[in-house]
Amino acid sequence: MAFRPAPVDTGIVFVRDRIEIKASFENVSETVFSTNLERNGVKVRTVEHLVAALVGLGITNVFIDVDGPEIPILDGSAMPWVSLLIKAGLSDQTKPQAVVRILKPVVYGEGSAYVMALPGRGYRVSCRLNFNHPAIREEHMELSIEPDAFVRDIAGARTFGFLKDVDALREKGLAMGGSMDNAIVIGDDRVLNEGGLRYKDEFVRHKILDIIGDMGLLACPIEGRLVANESGHRLHIGFLKHLATHQDSWEVGVTPFVEKPIFQAFGQEVAA
Ligand SMILES: [Zn+2]
- Say if 218 falls within a structural domain: yes
- Say if 189 falls within a structural domain: yes
**pLDDT for res 132:** 87
CA distance to 49, 78, 108, 161, per residue, from 81 (Å): 9, 6, 30, 21
Coil, strand or helix at 208: helix
Sign of the dihedral through C-alpha 102, 30, 83, 260: negative
In this predicted model, which residue has the larger pLDDT, 8 or 236?
Answer: 236
Neighbours of 131 (CB within 10 A): 15
Q: How far is the CA of 210 from the centre of ligand 1 (A)?
A: 5
**pLDDT for res 259:** 45
CATH code where residue 137 lies: 3.30.1700.10
- Say if 194 falls within a structural domain: yes
Above 60 in pLDDT, residue 266? Answer: no
pTM, to two decimals:
0.92
- Say if 271 falls within a structural domain: no
- Name residues with Cβ closer than 5 Å to ligand 1, which is an ion: 159, 210
**pLDDT for res 264:** 34
Give the mean pLDDT of the chain. Answer: 90
Q: How far is the CA of 224 from the centre of ligand 1 (A)?
A: 22
Neighbours of 175 (CB within 10 A): 18
Of 10-19, 158-167, 220-229, which gets the smallest average pLDDT?
A: 158-167
**pLDDT for res 271:** 35
DSSP state of 170: H
Interstrand relation of 160-162 and 184-186 (parallel, antiparallel or unpaired): parallel
Q: What pLDDT, in 10s, does the model give residues 94-145?
A: 888 889 999 999 999 999 999 999 999 999 999 999 998 999 989 999 999 9
The amino acid present at 153, given as its one-letter code, is D
- Say if 8 falls within a structural domain: yes
Q: How far is the CA of 181 from the centre of ligand 1 (A)?
A: 14
The amino acid present at 192, given as its one-letter code, is L
The rounded distance, in Å, linking the Cα atoms of 112 and 26 is: 26
- Say if 231 falls within a structural domain: yes
Above 80 in pLDDT, residue 176? Answer: no
Q: How far is the CA of 244 from the centre of ligand 1 (A)?
A: 23
Give the residue numbers spanning the domain of 69. Answer: 2-266
Instruction: Yes or no: say if 244 and 25 are a contact pair by the CB < 8 Å rule.
Output: yes
Active site residues: 233
The rounded distance, in Å, linking the Cα atoms of 75 and 182 is: 4
Q: What is the mean pLDDT of residues 247-251?
A: 95
Sign of the dihedral through C-alpha 259, 261, 264, 269: negative
Count of structural domains within the chain: 1
